[in-house]
Structure 1
Amino acid sequence: MRKPTIQDVARTAGVGVGTVSRVLNNHTAVKDTTREAVLRAIADLEYTPNPHARRIAGGKSYTISILLPVVTTEFYVRLLDGLETTFQEARYDVAIFPLLDRSRLERYLGSHTLAYQADGLVMATYNLTGLFDQHRLRTQQPTVLVDAYSPAADCAYMDNVCGGRVAGEYACTLPGTLYAMWVETELDQLFTTRVFEDRRSGFCEALAAAGRVMKAEYVSSFDNLAARRTATRLLDEAELPCTVFASADLLAAALIDEALERGLRPGEDVRVIGFDDQPWAESRGLTTLHQPVEKMGQEAAALLLSRLSGHQGPARARKFSPVLVRRSSA
């Protein structure tokens, strides 16, 4: 049997080929009833668009470039999942560009690399406000920030001040000395980010409102070995029982592991509050701040797709707030 064509879809749905094309491109200028008829015809015929023909006919790449610091953390895996799911539903391919270091960022900023040949651009996490202000970013194509905020671009981001405040308010209800573990906020002085600074700001704000103080604060780079070393030092110096706000689940897990190895009881001798609600957090009994990471990625993708469909207007911001999930560790 021959493969169904776009003309077959148009005949089955009773519309023109141009209408089918607009539906495939997720264009807003299609009535809901018409869109449903086209989608039903596509499903009935099991029609799959030819991506090469689509690119040639449309004069577009149907590719989205995603620039992000690294691709090896759980957070970015989840973020990419949300972005890719939405883009693929709209039949856009995704090209991922991990920056890794300053030289690579400078190369992207200073030349017409492959990343800028896409129809749209997603930039993740690091603070790009200054780069926008300096007009150093090549944003001829629609651009969206995810997990970062700038008034100059569409963005979807997490309210980390709120998350830190919620963690602090809850920590103040628990007995014992208060401690905190923070993530080192710069990688090679490149990926400056307000994420952990904002979490700390909200946490300290809540403590001040409750008249509580931290006994000590500890800083770790974002890897398992460093987190475990920091957890060891904290517990060596801690006054038990205590409550610890670990500003990332990775730090919280290291603290729980170190406590268990010492024969301490998480949730009693050491109460641990994390931040992220990674997929394994429930099985570890970790009290943590849940971040809707996938949803944030989906919303960022939807903002970009709307621009690609012709939306005009000022920059839009979508803010997400973390929610406390209480489990046995606190």
Structure 2
Amino acid sequence: MEPVPKTGYGEAETMRKPTIQDVARQAGVGVGTVSRVLNNHVAVKGATRETVLKAIADLEYTPNPHARRIAGGKSYTISVLLPVLTTEFYVRLLDGLESAFQEARYDVAIFPLLDRSRLERYLGSHTLAYQADGLVMATYNLTQMFHERRLRTQQPTVLVDAFSDAVDSSFMDNVSGGRLAGEYAVSLPGNLYAVWVETELDHLFTTRVFEDRRSGFLSAVQTAGRSVKREFTSSFDSLTARNTAATLLDDAQAAGLPCTVFASADMLAGALLDEVRLRGLKIGQDVRVIGFDDQPWAAERELTTLHQPVESMGYEAAQLLLSRLNGYKGPPRARRFEPRLIVRGSA
């Protein structure tokens, strides 16, 4: 039997995992600079950052998250409080948030609230959601709570899909979106209808999103000297949305077609398209449907809708929070996004 050769130093080097010191040596910088690049710190110059990132890629270096937490005295975790997780909108919003936080090597902990009682529970700073380095709160109308200092947040906080002048916010101009829908709807023949999403009546757990869309839509309709024949309300439950669509079309057919319907969320618009087809009516002629969101399936179904840059809104919210974590101490900032009308075959 041949003797087993001894492992040389070079071979042993290739077998062990590269360290942050290895990255620093290869990039010709200090360990502190590598750490700042990993933490996405603004103080690192572009050329230096690229050199360090190349060394990380060449060595296939993966940071040890446990050691990083101990060394930095931080959790490197962001808490995200969402109303629900089951809608396409919030899946897309999370994509935008997570892409930015992952670039900065932060983990995301998601807390679905679902109802008012859970929001009340999370208001206490002792809860798990508040043990993260930063907090993202989505959609809620929390202006009053911030002014009353009921949100006892010790860490930086950002609102997304909502606005408050007391905290950093990244939000959609839903009034403008509703107005665009209204201006287009009044250019089409027939009666006008609208379907809104029902929201919690308790002011602690509300959203202004659909209220703002309604305000913009009705303003445009009234400015044109038109009126909405009838308004309907539905939840995001698929069965409720379909039943609402059936009731609306019963009314529209009795009053006489054609008609135009503004559905304030694409999910409701989709239920309308299904019901129109079931009745053998022509979409885009007998019944024109305008949605809001431009979900990934909207183009395939030829849905005229208001496009929202949802992922960009989430990404920008994350950047606002990361800048706070990197030392920004200035006044609250607002990032406003505008929807745009995408005209397709449904209207």
The alignment's TM-score, normalised by the length of structure 2, stands at: 0.93
- In the alignment, what sits opposite 1:249? 266
1:151 is matched with which residue: 136, 159, 165? 165
Match of residue 65 from structure 1? 79
2:311 equivalent to 1:297: no
> Paired residue for 1:307, among 313, 321, 324?
324
Aligned partner of 1:83 among 97, 117, 125: 97
1:252 maps to a residue whose letter is A
TM-superposed deviation, 1:63: 0.3
Cα separation, 2, equivalents of 1:258 and 1:275: 18
- Name the structure 2 match of 1:206: 220
Contact between 2:125 and 2:153, CA under 8 Å: does it hold in 1? no
Equivalent residue letter for 2:268 = L
DSSP 3-state at the match of 1:55? helix
How far apart, CA to CA, are the structure 2 residues paired with 1:54 and 1:221? 44
1:167 aligns with 2:181: yes
Q: Is the CA contact 2:185–2:262 (under 8 Å) kept in the aligned structure 1?
A: yes
User: Percent same amino acid among aligned pairs?
Assistant: 79
8 Å contact 2:125–2:152 — kept in the other structure? no
CA spacing shift, 1:111–1:28, aligned 2, 3 Å: closer
Q: List per-residue Cα deviations over 1:28-69 (Å, max 9, x = no partner).
A: 111111111111111111111100000000000000000111
Indicate the residue corresponding to 1:135 in structure 2.
149
Choose 1 or 2 for highest CA Rg: 2
- Are 2:264 and 2:292, in contact at CA under 8 Å, matched by a contact in 1? yes
Correspondence for 2:290: 273
Q: Would you say the 8 A contact 1:69–1:191 is kept in 2?
A: no
* Number of aligned residues: 330
SS at match of 2:346: coil
**Residues 310, 189 of structure 1: CA spacing in aligned structure 2 closer, same or farther, 3 A cutoff?**
closer
Give the secondary-structure state (helix, strand or coil) at the position aligned to 2:195.
strand
Corresponding residue for 1:126?
Answer: 140
The amino acid across from 2:92 in the alignment is R
* Aligned position for 2:300: 283
One-letter identity of the residue aligned with 1:99 = L
SS at 1:96's partner residue? Answer: strand
CA drift at 1:102: 2.0
- Which residue of structure 2 lines up, in the alignment, with residue 40 of structure 1? 54
Deviates more, 1:160-169 or 1:66-75: 66-75
CA–CA separation in structure 1 for the residues paired with 2:47 and 2:235: 53
Amino acid at match of 1:132: F
Contact kept? 1:156, 1:318, Cα under 8 Å: yes
Contact 1:178 1:216 in 2 (8 A): yes
* 2:4 corresponding residue in structure 1: none
Q: Distance in 2 between matches of 1:301 and 1:68?
A: 14
| Helix, strand or coil at the partner of 2:150 | coil
Tell me whether 1:194 sits opposite 2:211 in the alignment: no
Q: Is 1:259 aligned to residue 280 of structure 2? A: no
Alignment RMSD: 1.1
> Shift of the alpha carbon at 1:71?
0.8
Q: Which of 232, 243, 251 does residue 246 from structure 2 map onto?
A: 232
Q: How far, CA to CA, are the matches of 2:227 and 2:110 in structure 1?
A: 43
Amino acid at match of 1:242: C
**Can you give the 5+ residue segments of structure 2 that lack an aligned partner in the other structure?**
1-14
Q: How far apart are 1:110 and its partner, in Å?
A: 2.5
Residue 217 of structure 1 aligns to a residue whose secondary structure is strand
1:101/1:190 contact within 8 Å kept: no
Verify: 1:51 aligned to 2:99, yes or no: no
Deviations 1:68-98 (A, max 9, x none): 1111111111111110111011100010011
| SS of equivalent residue, structure 2 residue 119 | helix
SS where residue 304 of structure 1 aligns? helix
For 2:97 and 2:293, the matched residues in 1 are separated by 18
Counterparts of 2:109 and 2:93 in 1: how far apart (Å)?
14
